[in-house]
Structure 1
Amino acid sequence: MIYWFRQDLRTRDLPGLHAAAQTGKPVIPVYILDEDAPGNWRAGGASRWWLHHSLEALKSELGKLGGSLHIYKGSTVAALKTIVKETGADTIYCSQQFEPWSRALEQSVHEYFSTEGLTVKRFPGTLLHQPESISTQAGQPFKVYTPFWRACNAAQPPAAPLPQPEDAIWFSEALTSAPLNELELLPTSPDWAATWHDYWTPGELGANNRARYFLAGPAEHYGEGRDYAAKAYTSKLSAHLHHGEISVRTVWHMAEAQKNETPEAASSIEKFQSELGWREFCYHLLVHFPDIPEKPFKAPFSSFPWASNESALDAWQRGQTGYPIVDAGMRELWQTGFMHNRVRMVVASFLTKHLLLHWRDGEDWFWDTLVDADLASNACSWQWVCGSGSDAAPYFRIFNPIAQGEKFDKEGEYVRRWVPEIAALPDKYLHKPWETPPLLLQEAGITLGETYPLPIVDHKIARESALAAYATIKGQASG
């Protein structure tokens, strides 16, 4: 029995692995890095760093159970053919994935091996609900989040998580697989992720520890505290969920248990669960509208007059826009592979509305630099912010980066951490350093335009330009 690991790098609550183990036949755990499958969506650098360490952790976890992870690089079908030839396996088990290329790959594996007399069995495990199980009363896909989530909550609750397959019989012979390092997932020259272990513990153990820690403490403050950039009230589970190191239904049931244990925190934890629902909604949209990572959900945005400005894009990417909350977010992203969710919305609004740069520019940058780069969530969230997506924020909702900083980083802790060159400014001027009196700038050792940039655009002028651009498609896009 081959178990083909994909974005489900765990041993707990893995229905396909559980089913393979229950056959009583030897299970062959396999991971294949198929670089051809994603097409234009090859995993970005940050995701590849995480993947290396997640596979390392999975090898260790399987080793504790008595199994070995066999690693391959190249064509999935070719690798599976080699394994079948060497072992005589007659069944391939895997978890369903929902990215367009993943679904196509599953189908090609099924079609090829069925002609060879093998069985390919695909199991749920990525979502709380299978996408086709949630629909409107008319049998159509949802396009608005709130009724979608209401329908999810009215559906059959997620089943209880499955345990590790502790009684599995593991295939014990050597195979012509590759060592993990041959996948070449880690950065080398330079090693820009050298300090990332200070921030992250990839793998199943790290995922479960993180979930327990969050739900036992910070989750109590999630409802009112998740928007404050310097506060540790978000779960930071997104990368663990994306790589499948913990199942979303495990997190769901842990949250349910915590609500029962601490009823006073129930409403806050339910808000966290609703964010799991947003992830679910993004996959729902991706399955039913697979072009959403590349094309605007609202067709009129295809003719939106996006600008082309490489120097502005570069300043945004490097955290050199002159707006401290934007720059702090972009630098947090570069230095840690992560960005606080509220700040993600601010920097996305700044790119698409202050700079009038295409949301695909931002989507591509996040895809390469986020450890939690998830096709569904990344695409849907970028389109939501810029106004072109399903159930999107209206385009004329333009975040004021000064007001956002003053509201959600009032004491400046977040900006001072990631933009240290202006840390000496008083709170009054921290989020608008260009208004600082010259004497205070001198005392703080700041020369605007040299030690820290002046704003690359004026907020008021940029807002007017954005509204003027939107006016060109307003009649078509308002529906």
Structure 2
Amino acid sequence: MSRPSIVWFRDDLRLADNPALRAALDRGEPVIGLYVLDEDGPGIRPLGGAARWWLHHSLASLGERLRERGGTLVLRRGPADRIVSETVTDAAAGAVFWNRRYGGPEREVDAGLKAALRAGGIEVSSFAASLLFEPWTVRTGAGTPFSVFTPFWRACLALPGPRAPLAEPREVGGPHRAPASDSLDDWELLPTRPDWAKGLRETWEPGEPAARRRLREFLQEDLANYDRARDEPAAGATSLLSPRLRWGELSPHTVWHETVEAGAGGRFLSELGWREFAWHVLFHHPDLASRNLRPEFDAFPWPHLKPTHLAAWQRGRTGLALVDAGMKELWHTGYMHNRVRMVAASFLVKNLLIDWRRGEEWFWDTLVDADGANNPFNWQWVAGSGADAAPYFRIFNPQLQAKKFDPDGHYVREWAPEHLGEHPPDPLVDLGETRKAALAAYERVKSASRT
């Protein structure tokens, strides 16, 4: 009697370079693709609105591609440990394969499920697919995790290089009768009342085929200009691959090898390294989104929150052109240029003196590429509380940043044209005075660390 293999898809919504899928096909039995929408498991963080929009369309694409190859994608909702076990029973499956995750709650779910399934006689294997270098394989000379990027990346590059990507399967034979599946539409991942996703639809096409096209376009048209223009938000020199990597529509191994084959990409490859570093830090500090990595920052004297200031920042009404342009780009497209992200985050934390966690929560809800590592890691970097953090006294001046990186105002003109009129809005706060207040607060942190 045939006992199908289940491939549990998570943040790896692709057919190419998918080791779990390849292992299932090599087993020689019918293959069932499974995606579990788990928003109830212990410690699992529910997706933000923009992420839910992307997930809907990426799952639709994955399901269609599996069907074209004779396979099937089963959708089920609930705590992953229970749902996967139930699906194994319903399908009379003999094996379950997945690609590894690195967040703390996710690892606990996976470890518990692996033990339970094996105890029941089910073959279970997990694979490295989402990172070039798994977090436990990169250690300092003393055997400890890294906390500074440059030596971390140097240690990564001293290891055997990233493996070659696996080919996309031509056929994915499914079972004669698949287990029951939820309807994707019934999950209500798309916004309806109101439908705020018009800008996302205009900007993005989720799914593996579109991801592959974007990678080719970047390597052929933009990579040569990347090092020079990557910090200019109007230059169009960035890869726009971050949501593709976040959802696993592309593997980092594919991006790495195709970039190397293109004959360039030193700085771009180091950005892949920064992504690796974020996951390295999260693996060793699972509470990265809620707790200062540097404990001395627990003494930071955050003032009482002014909701009007937070709302002005969220809606791009701070009176600072570059910040407002970035926040409006984010609201419309679910994305923001990285240089502008740093400026907008610095303004929230170091000029408005609003806890970095409030900004991280907003980005989690509005970014299509927000993930459990990079989002909190980069917020802590800007705040000065994280790994390899920007010094707290490094405060991005939004006006000087605009002059340097958007000197002709092309980016501001596109997203916040009111700043280029005869009567631009007044800044929400005085940059000089708030900078002094931030530095005074930082002195409190330094004093607390010495006592």
- Same-fold status (TM-score > 0.5): yes
Alignment of 1:316 with 2:313, yes or no, is yes
Matches within 5 A, 1:277-292: 277-292=273-288
For residues 325 and 245 of structure 1, the distance between their equivalents in structure 2, rounded to whole angstroms, comes to 31
2:241 aligned partner:
237
Higher deviation after alignment, 279-288 or 96-105:
96-105
**Cα distance change of structure 1 residues 282 and 312 upon mapping to structure 2, 3 Å threshold:** same
The residue type equivalent to 2:121 in the other structure is G
Which residue, out of 366, 383, 386, partners 2:383? 386
Query: What is the Cα deviation at residue 422 of structure 1?
Result: 3.2
Matches within 5 A, 1:341-360: 341-360=338-357
Higher deviation after alignment, 146-155 or 32-41:
32-41
1:428 aligned partner:
none
Matches within 5 A, 1:453-472: 454-472=426-444
1:89 aligned partner:
93
Alignment of 1:398 with 2:402, yes or no, is no
The residue type equivalent to 1:353 in the other structure is K
Query: What is the Cα deviation at residue 80 of structure 1?
Result: 2.2
Contact preservation (8 Å) 1:16, 1:95:
yes
Contact preservation (8 Å) 1:282, 1:377:
yes
1:371 aligned partner:
368
2:416 aligned partner:
419
For residues 475 and 389 of structure 1, the distance between their equivalents in structure 2, rounded to whole angstroms, comes to 18
The residue type equivalent to 1:181 in the other structure is D
Which residue, out of 212, 226, 232, partners 1:228? 232
Higher deviation after alignment, 46-55 or 135-144:
135-144
Which residue, out of 320, 327, 330, partners 1:330? 327
For residues 75 and 315 of structure 1, the distance between their equivalents in structure 2, rounded to whole angstroms, comes to 37
Contact preservation (8 Å) 1:67, 1:172:
no
Which residue, out of 198, 205, 219, partners 1:201? 205
For residues 204 and 478 of structure 1, the distance between their equivalents in structure 2, rounded to whole angstroms, comes to 51
Between Structure 1 and Structure 2, how many residues are aligned? 446
Secondary structure at 2:125 match in 1:
strand
For residues 101 and 75 of structure 1, the distance between their equivalents in structure 2, rounded to whole angstroms, comes to 12
Query: What is the Cα deviation at residue 298 of structure 1?
Result: 0.9
Query: What is the Cα deviation at residue 339 of structure 1?
Result: 0.2
Secondary structure at 1:195 match in 2:
helix
1:70 aligned partner:
74
**Cα distance change of structure 1 residues 62 and 208 upon mapping to structure 2, 3 Å threshold:** same
For residues 476 and 204 of structure 1, the distance between their equivalents in structure 2, rounded to whole angstroms, comes to 49
For residues 178 and 8 of structure 2, the distance between their equivalents in structure 1, rounded to whole angstroms, comes to 17
Query: What is the Cα deviation at residue 112 of structure 1?
Result: 2.4
Which residue, out of 172, 175, 183, partners 1:171? 175
The residue type equivalent to 1:459 in the other structure is L
| 1:51-86 C-alpha deviation (Å, 9 max, x unpaired) | 000001101111221111111111223322332222
Query: What is the Cα deviation at residue 374 of structure 1?
Result: 1.1
Query: What is the Cα deviation at residue 90 of structure 1?
Result: 1.6
For residues 420 and 200 of structure 1, the distance between their equivalents in structure 2, rounded to whole angstroms, comes to 23
Alignment of 1:276 with 2:272, yes or no, is yes
For residues 235 and 476 of structure 1, the distance between their equivalents in structure 2, rounded to whole angstroms, comes to 42
Calculate percent identity across the aligned residue pairs: 48
Higher deviation after alignment, 115-124 or 127-136:
115-124
- The alignment yields a C-alpha RMSD, in angstroms, of 1.5
1:296 aligned partner:
292
Secondary structure at 1:29 match in 2:
strand
Q: Runs ≥4 in structure 1, deviation > 3 angstroms? A: 475-479
Higher deviation after alignment, 163-172 or 3-12:
163-172
Contact preservation (8 Å) 1:283, 1:377:
yes
For residues 446 and 182 of structure 2, the distance between their equivalents in structure 1, rounded to whole angstroms, comes to 55
Which residue, out of 26, 30, 38, partners 1:22? 26
Secondary structure at 1:41 match in 2:
coil
Contact preservation (8 Å) 1:24, 1:169:
no
For residues 86 and 42 of structure 1, the distance between their equivalents in structure 2, rounded to whole angstroms, comes to 27
TM-score by length of 2: 0.96
The residue type equivalent to 1:317 in the other structure is Q
Contact preservation (8 Å) 2:66, 2:172:
no
For residues 206 and 160 of structure 2, the distance between their equivalents in structure 1, rounded to whole angstroms, comes to 31
The residue type equivalent to 1:458 in the other structure is D
For residues 136 and 85 of structure 2, the distance between their equivalents in structure 1, rounded to whole angstroms, comes to 31
For residues 244 and 450 of structure 2, the distance between their equivalents in structure 1, rounded to whole angstroms, comes to 37
The residue type equivalent to 2:277 in the other structure is F
1:255 aligned partner:
259
The residue type equivalent to 1:223 in the other structure is D
Secondary structure at 2:373 match in 1:
helix
Contact preservation (8 Å) 2:72, 2:178:
no
Query: What is the Cα deviation at residue 88 of structure 1?
Result: 1.1
Secondary structure at 1:217 match in 2:
helix
Consecutive unaligned residues in structure 2, runs of 5 or more? none
Contact preservation (8 Å) 1:22, 1:168:
no
Query: What is the Cα deviation at residue 167 of structure 1?
Result: 4.6
2:132 aligned partner:
128
TM-score by length of 1: 0.91
2:35 aligned partner:
31
The residue type equivalent to 1:457 in the other structure is V
Query: What is the Cα deviation at residue 478 of structure 1?
Result: 9.0
Query: What is the Cα deviation at residue 123 of structure 1?
Result: 0.8
| 1:395-447 C-alpha deviation (Å, 9 max, x unpaired) | 00011111001111100011111112234x3xxxxxxxxxxxxxxx3xxxx3x
2:160 aligned partner:
156
For residues 78 and 72 of structure 1, the distance between their equivalents in structure 2, rounded to whole angstroms, comes to 11
The residue type equivalent to 1:34 in the other structure is D
Contact preservation (8 Å) 2:299, 2:448:
no
The residue type equivalent to 2:180 in the other structure is T
For residues 383 and 300 of structure 1, the distance between their equivalents in structure 2, rounded to whole angstroms, comes to 13
Query: What is the Cα deviation at residue 182 of structure 1?
Result: 1.4
| 1:163-203 C-alpha deviation (Å, 9 max, x unpaired) | 12225432231421111111111000111002322211111
Alignment of 1:216 with 2:233, yes or no, is no
Contact preservation (8 Å) 2:13, 2:208:
yes
Higher deviation after alignment, 133-142 or 163-172:
163-172
1:107 aligned partner:
111
Query: What is the Cα deviation at residue 117 of structure 1?
Result: 2.0
Contact preservation (8 Å) 1:45, 1:368:
yes
For residues 373 and 476 of structure 1, the distance between their equivalents in structure 2, rounded to whole angstroms, comes to 33
